[in-house]
Structure formats: structure tokens, C-alpha cells
Structure 1
């Protein structure tokens, strides 16, 4: 069973619980959500609403208790670990708040790493091109300690994009950046969607960051409770404030 090519990833009736008995926590409760291809979806909600769990389940990093998960047109709900790992390497890119760069490697070597791990032949021209696309063509041989926070995050984005993934999952990608660096990174992500047709699913707590997306979806207590299309930062902030003040 597969889904249309216009959907990069999808959750259908997904529930995810942790723990047992009285200690059980329901992180997701029957969530159905599609991430359209060539579009940017931001995921928001109060602390503990299930945002990161949703992202991890959609990316195949976490197994669901109930429901179905589709990734790049293929159902992966019960896929063997080996199959799922191979699919992630080919179709998914990840960007996190902490950058996760290897300090002893240059920017070029950090970007090359996913290709080597996947057993893919490394073409230096491709690596240089993706670093040039994020504005770091002149920083190929710089190590993370020689780069600003914003530049390190752009290296992390280049590393995620070098495999040309069907969808990029970003978990608080601007959370560790100053405002100027955050704007640069968000503008880069916007260009990737508009000019290259990249699909992005991003968890964020920042209304200004979410306002760059094509759609913002809101979670509360593990449930999908609202969606805004091309909202302003003010509209996002107001909706989030309501969720934090009045549990759904």
C-alpha cells in the first residue's frame, strides 16, 4: 500500500504510548497528518504535547503502537529495522538544534559522512555544490570551532541535503541560534522549498520561525487540534497562547 507522490510523509490514526499501567503516557493519540511534497509544515504545541514524538514517528525513528506510517510513498509501519534504516538513508534528512557535527572533521568531511555511511560513492562536486548552496563554499576546510553557530547549522543542513532526501525533518533548527543567524537559516529553508521543491517538516516553539512555513499544525495532549495556512507570527503566537492557557 502506498500514497500519492504529492505526499512526502503521512501518519494515519497514529498513537504512541510510553510506559505501562498507571505510569503510561500517551504521547500521540490517533493523529492523522500528511506532509505535502514541495511544502513546509511547522509543528507547534505546548510543552509535552507530542511534537518531537510526532516528528520521530513520521521519520521512522520511533515505532508506533497503532496506526500507519508512510514515508516517501512506502508504508513503513512494520518494516524490518534493516529495511527502515536503508529507506531513511535514501529518503530522509535530519537537522537538529544541537548541529551534531563532528568537531575533528572539516565542513566538507562532515557533509560527506552520510554518503560514506550509506556506501554511496562520494562526488566532491556534489559536496561542494551543496555547501555552496548554503553559502559556505569558502568554508570547506573549516572545522566546527572555526564557524559561528549559524554557519554550523548551515553545514548540518548541507549534510542533510547531500543525499537529496524526499523530506527534511528539522527539530528546533533555530533554537540554539541568535536572531540574525536564525533568520538566515529560515530564509535558506524557505528558498529550498520555493526553488528546489524540498519538503520540510519542522518542530519549533518559535512563532516567528513557524510563520515562515506554508502551514502550521498545532498539537495538544497528543492530539492534532488546529491548522493555520500561511499565518503571521502574531496569529501563531495567539493560537499557541490559547492552547497553553486552556487545555484541549
Structure 2
């Protein structure tokens, strides 16, 4: 059963507090003989101002780890802290506030609203939070991802790489403590993927952004500062700045 202990998240942005921390986290789906343990006592932390990639074979638990770390799913046992806040038993209202103000999300499918322009998509999180947003604010964020001249375009008028950069701008407009990315280059061609990965690297280096990214692509993982490997719901390896070939070799060994 998912824990229901109530928490009062108290966000910290000091350098010595990890962007995300998991303590003995388990996540089980189902009951009895059909129960599946997607995460099995995972303890790890993701440092501030660093980019961590999470990899593993299909069914290893990497997407579940991302969802639990971001508060999208509850845990069966253990604790999850985001920017120092224990969110393990946070209420729906507290989690909504956390996801709006402290966490940014980027997904493979972009999740842009087709009827809105790029500027309007970027401004949406702030508007949903009841904040006034000027066109200048949206333009500045779009300019930071290289789309200063695409603000009035709707998603259908943009390439896949441009749409993903709009999605990144939307995620960053609230200045989140941590950015969670789920296969952010999975739907892109190689050229667009390189552009997006270069943008993520720039965000880490120049803005001190913390990023946790799930990917199946060794080249994308090699762009990160470190790579965490999962297998059967457990952390089995960790590599600092590996090459794409080293990542592919380790992943192939896990799949075997």
C-alpha cells in the first residue's frame, strides 16, 4: 500500500542538499502472487547542478524511479526528498504546488497544446499558477532555447526539435529546482537530438540546473555528468562521464 503519512514540504536550494534523494524506496504493483516489485529498496541521490542519466533494460524500473522521484507516483515504502522536502506522504495539493513551483518536466511526446502558440505554451504553467505573464517574459525564455523568432508559431508549424525546445522552455519558465526528463530525445532525429542535448548541457553549465533524465540512448546518456544503471528494480552500477561506447557495453551486459 502506498504510504499516506502527511508531509509539509520545506524546499531548500542550498548546495549541500541533493536535488533529489531516495531512501530505501520500494514500489510494488499488484498483490499476492501477481505482485511486481518495480523498485526494490533503492537508495540514491542526485546532486545539485549536475545532470544524471538513468538507464537499464526494459522493465528495469527506470521510468518508475523517475515517476516516484518526481512525485508522479507514490512509493510503497521508503522516503523521497526533492530539494530537501520530504514528499513521501504529501497531499495532492502539496504535490500540485511542488510540481508547479519546484519541478520541471520534459517528455518524449512534447505535450504541447496545439491551439496555443509557442509563447502561450511557455506561459501556461505560470498562468495555471495564477501569475501574470508578460509577452516579454515568454519571449526571453524562448530566446534562451534559441527560438526567439518562433513565439507566434503553433506546434504544427515547428519541427520536432523545435517543439521539444518549446517544451523545455515551458518546463524552465518557473525556474525549477530540478528538471525531470523522460526520453527527451526519443522522438527526434539525430541532428535535433544533438541540439536538445547541447541545450541541456548549457543549462547545467551556465545556470546550475539539476537534471534527472531517463533514456535508452547511450549517446544521450554519455552527454550527462553521470549514468545510473538499474536492473530488476535495483541500482547495479554507476559511471562518471562514460563514453557512449562504454554505456552501450554496460547496457548490453545488463540485457544479457
CA–CA separation in structure 1 for the residues paired with 2:134 and 2:98: 21
Query: What displacement does 1:27 show?
Result: 0.5
Aligned twin of 2:186: 175
Give the alignment's Cα RMSD to 1 decimal. 1.2
1:215 has 2:219 as partner = no
Alignment of 1:1-248 (within 5 A): 5-6=15-16, 7-245=18-256
Once the two structures are superposed, residues 105-159 of structure 1 have per-residue CA deviations (whole angstroms, 9 ceiling, x without a partner) of: 1000000111111112213322111100100000000000100000000000000
CA–CA separation in structure 2 for the residues paired with 1:142 and 1:87: 30
CA–CA separation in structure 1 for the residues paired with 2:235 and 2:131: 38
CA–CA separation in structure 1 for the residues paired with 2:131 and 2:26: 35
CA–CA separation in structure 1 for the residues paired with 2:229 and 2:130: 38
Once the two structures are superposed, residues 179-227 of structure 1 have per-residue CA deviations (whole angstroms, 9 ceiling, x without a partner) of: 0000000000000000110000000000000000000000000000000
For structure 1, the 5+ residue unaligned runs are none
Query: What displacement does 1:5 show?
Result: 4.1
CA–CA separation in structure 1 for the residues paired with 2:125 and 2:214: 23
Q: TM-score, normalised by structure 1?
A: 0.96
CA–CA separation in structure 2 for the residues paired with 1:212 and 1:108: 28
For structure 2, the 5+ residue unaligned runs are 1-8
CA–CA separation in structure 2 for the residues paired with 1:211 and 1:120: 38
Count, aligned residues: 245
Q: TM-score, normalised by structure 2?
A: 0.93
Contact 1:5 1:73 in 2 (8 A): no
CA–CA separation in structure 2 for the residues paired with 1:53 and 1:62: 8
